[in-house]
Each structure stands twice: as C-alpha cells, then as structure tokens.
Amino acid sequence: MRDAMPRLTGTPGVYLRNAWYVAGWADGLAEKPQAKVFLEEPVALFRDAAGVAHAIGGRCPHRFAPLGAGEVIDGALQCPYHGLRFGSDGRCVFNPHPGGQVPQASVRVYPLVERHALLWIWMGDPARADAATIPDFAWLADPRWEVVRGATCAEGHYELYSDNILDLSHANFVHPALVASAFTEGARKFWQDGETVHAHYAQPDDYLSVGISAILGVTGRKQAFDGHVIWHAPATLSFDFRTGEPGTPYDQLSNMPSLHAFTPETADTTHYLWATGRDFAVGDAEFSQTMRGALEYAFEHEDMPLIRDAHRLMAGQDFWELRPLVLDGDGGGIRARRQLRKMISAEMISAEQGTPA
Ligand code: FES
Ligand SMILES: [Fe+2]
C-alpha cells in the first residue's frame, strides 16, 4: 500500500456517486485511522470509542492536512497538524487553541456500513444510502469458508479492471499457471439481469489448468468446469469457480467463490480488494499460504502490470473514442460499461434537474 496521498491535479474522472463502494477490509481498520482517497475525494476512516467505523471528509478545513493521518482521542478524530478534533457527525468538537470552540467547522459525513468483513462507503447523497442494496458476500465472514485475500492500490482505470474479470479469456495469455481451454474455447455466455451483468464460462469435460488441477488434487483428470462472474455497479464483481467430476449436477459442483472489488481512487488509480474462498482444507494454514501466494502473483504481478501499461497507452483518452476492437470475450465488459454510463448519465441529468435519479 502507498503511504502518501495521490496527486489530485489530473483531469477529473466521472463517477457514479449514489452507489456502495468497498472502502477496505473491516479488520484492516483498527485503532489507527486511515487516510484514503475515493473518487478523487479525501476520506478519513476511523473507529469511535465504541469501535463503530465512520467515514468523514479527509481534508481538514483549517490547513487541509489529511485527517485520516491523525489519531482518535475520546472517540473523535484529531487532526495531525494543529489538533482540531472532529466527531463522527463531521463537526469540530474540540479546538486546543485559544479562541474557543469552532463548532461551525465541519467536514462531510459519508454513510459507512461494516458488512461481510468489508467496509462499504456511499459516495453520493446520504439520504439515498440503502444498506439493503449492498451485494451479498456473506461467505467472506462465514467460518465454513476459508478465505485468502489481499488489498492493494493499482495504477489504471477501474473499468479496465472490471473488464479483466469479466473477460476470462485473457487467462491463457497472462497467467501461465491458469491456462485451460475452458477460458478460450469453452462455451461462454454474457447477459444482463436488471443492473447486474453476467459472464458465464463452461466446459463439461476437460482438463483444468495445471495450477488449479494441482490445488484441487485432480491433476491428469478431466473435470466439469463452470465459471460465473457477476458485475455489480460500479465495479464490484463476484466469480464463482465450480468444478467436479464430469456429469456432476450443477448444485453439487464444489465452489471456490471470489470477490474482486475495484474502487476508483482517481481516474488513474484503483483500490483493488480481492478474496477467494474454499470449503476444503479449512484450517490448513500452509495450503492457504500457497493459495494466497499464487493468487496474489496472478492478480498483482500478472494482471496489474498489463492493465497499468494499457492505461498508460490510452493516455487519458476516452475508451470509446479509441474505437476498441470488440472480440467475443468482451460481451460482459461492454454490457457493464454501457450500464455504468447509463447510470452515471441518469444521475447527472437528475442532478441538473434537482430530481432523484
Ligand atoms: S490543518 Fe487541521 S488543525 Fe490545522
Ligand atoms: Fe487475470
């Protein structure tokens, strides 16, 4: 993770505001507050005296220091620069300097929900934040699943990262250990269901990749494979990777579910949280370590550098104006991009008209 704040001087991006974004792993926010940037807005994350997590504006209104780099005193967040303290309602609750209190000083409050081992932040109108619309990742906090996970900040636009998960055909070229004909030759289907986009890959009787066969203990044996990616706007994806002996009914295939959550930091950088669960070898720390290492390598050392370089070669130009060639595997990514544009446009029009989107 990078320690310094990103520079916020580039071309501003356009984002969906009224949406839940993943702000981090819940247990990653302990007593020490965090200074983050989401959608180019500085945000401070902290826990109050009761341990409840909060998100408030991250730029101190005095001399603009990062509030999240401060500390929590008596349940309020103290600015690291001159010590003003802000409560979870965003108001200044303490001024250590002569001149009295300054309760008129305040920062914005962002709805924040702790759910499924994650912190979810709402970057739009607080009155519209409905926790019931947070996607279901209950397995992340369910002890029946052993979960390996990671978090990093990646260079590249967040939609390029969503494309990457929706189009698994890249696996054969980017991830040598994951080469499998299921990704490039298997049956695939893309569709939209309301505001979610689906990508489905299936191969009923074929070899899994070398790496995954070894993990599952099926080296040299053909298997049924079913991969189902679901995209939730703006860029939170699940990927169910189901396998079993050929002919196994779908509901009896074993599943390794994944989370890939992309939250834009800026138009050029993306917070990337990932996790993969398994319901076998639960409690096997050595197995987890091997699995975590392999996944971290694939995501952070194979996917990320390619996407970073593609982003750099786009040089800030609009994706559609570059007239991208559309291949068969793009059916999910393109639906997701169109759906997101539609939601952002609706939000912008309603903001202009002063009506709810
Ligand atoms: S910058 Fe925060 S108190 Fe001065
Ligand atoms: Fe990948």
How far apart, in whole angstroms, are the C-alpha atoms of residue 5 and residue 60? 14
Same domain? 157 vs 301? yes
Residue nearest to atom 1 of ligand 1 (CA): 63
Last residue of a domain, one of 133, 155, 171: 133
Interval 282-332: pLDDT, tens: 999 999 999 999 999 999 999 999 999 999 999 999 999 999 999 999 999
End-to-end C-alpha distance for the chain, whole angstroms: 35
What's the pTM value of the predicted model, to 2 decimals? Answer: 0.95
Q: Pick from 124, 214, 133, 217: which is nearest to 178 by CA?
A: 214
Tokens linked to 169: 């055909």
Q: How confident is the model at residue 353 (pLDDT cuts 50, 70, 90)?
A: confident
Last residue of a domain, one of 96, 116, 133: 133
Ligand 1 centroid distance, CA of 1 (Å): 25
Same domain? 199 vs 286? yes
Same domain? 112 vs 206? no
Same domain? 245 vs 329? yes
3-class state of residue 99 by DSSP = coil
**Nearest ligand to the C-alpha of residue 92?**
1
Q: Is residue 316 part of a domain?
A: yes
Domain total for the chain? 2
Q: Is residue 5 part of a domain?
A: no
Question: Taking all residues of the chain, what is their mean pLDDT, rounded to a whole number?
Answer: 94
Q: What is the mean pLDDT of residues 85-90?
A: 98
Interval 1-23: pLDDT, tens: 567 899 897 778 899 999 999 99
Q: Radius of gyration over alpha carbons of the chain, in Å?
A: 22
**Residues 6 or more apart from 6 whose CB is under 8 A from it?**
37, 265, 266, 269
Choice from 5, 56, 82 to test ligand 1 binding pocket (greatest atom count within 8 A of CB): 82
Domain around 77: 21-133
Q: What is the mean pLDDT of residues 123-151?
A: 97
How far apart, in whole angstroms, are the C-alpha atoms of residue 111 and residue 20? 9
Q: Is residue 7 part of a domain?
A: no
Same domain? 38 vs 162? no
Ligand 2 centroid distance, CA of 145 (Å): 23
Residue nearest to atom 3 of ligand 1 (CA): 82
The predicted pLDDT at position 1 comes to: 52
Q: What is the CATH number of the domain that holds 315?
A: 3.90.380.10
Give residue 294's identity as a one-letter amino acid code: A
3-class state of residue 163 by DSSP = helix
Last residue of a domain, one of 100, 133, 166: 133
Q: Is residue 9 part of a domain?
A: no
Query: Is it the case that residue 26 has pLDDT exceeding 70?
Result: yes
How far apart, in whole angstroms, are the C-alpha atoms of residue 165 and residue 207? 21
Give kind and range of the element (H or E) at residue 312. Answer: helix 304-314
Interval 34-55: pLDDT, tens: 999 999 999 999 999 999 999 9
Same domain? 25 vs 148? no
Q: Is residue 231 part of a domain?
A: yes
Q: What is the CATH number of the domain that holds 82?
A: 2.102.10.10
C-beta neighbour count of 274 within 10 angstroms: 23
Same domain? 166 vs 226? yes
Interval 236-279: pLDDT, tens: 999 999 999 999 999 999 999 999 999 999 999 999 999 999 99
Q: Is residue 253 part of a domain?
A: yes
Same domain? 155 vs 197? yes
Give residue 240's identity as a one-letter amino acid code: D
Ligand 2 centroid distance, CA of 331 (Å): 17
**Nearest ligand to the C-alpha of residue 63?**
1
Same domain? 47 vs 162? no
Same domain? 227 vs 80? no
**CA-to-CA separations, 128 to 27, 34, 135, in angstroms, rounded:** 26, 25, 16
Residue nearest to atom 4 of ligand 1 (CA): 82
Same domain? 45 vs 95? yes
Q: Is residue 1 part of a domain?
A: no
Contact residues of ligand 1, CB 6 A cut-off: 60, 62-63, 65, 79, 81-84
How far apart, in whole angstroms, are the C-alpha atoms of residue 222 and residue 237? 28
Shortest-distance atom of ligand 1 to CA 60: 2
Ligand 1 centroid distance, CA of 69 (Å): 11
How far apart, in whole angstroms, are the C-alpha atoms of residue 283 and residue 214? 19
Q: Residues 263, 108: contact at Cβ < 8 Å?
A: no
Q: Pick from 355, 357, 335, 337: which is nearest to 346 by CA?
A: 357
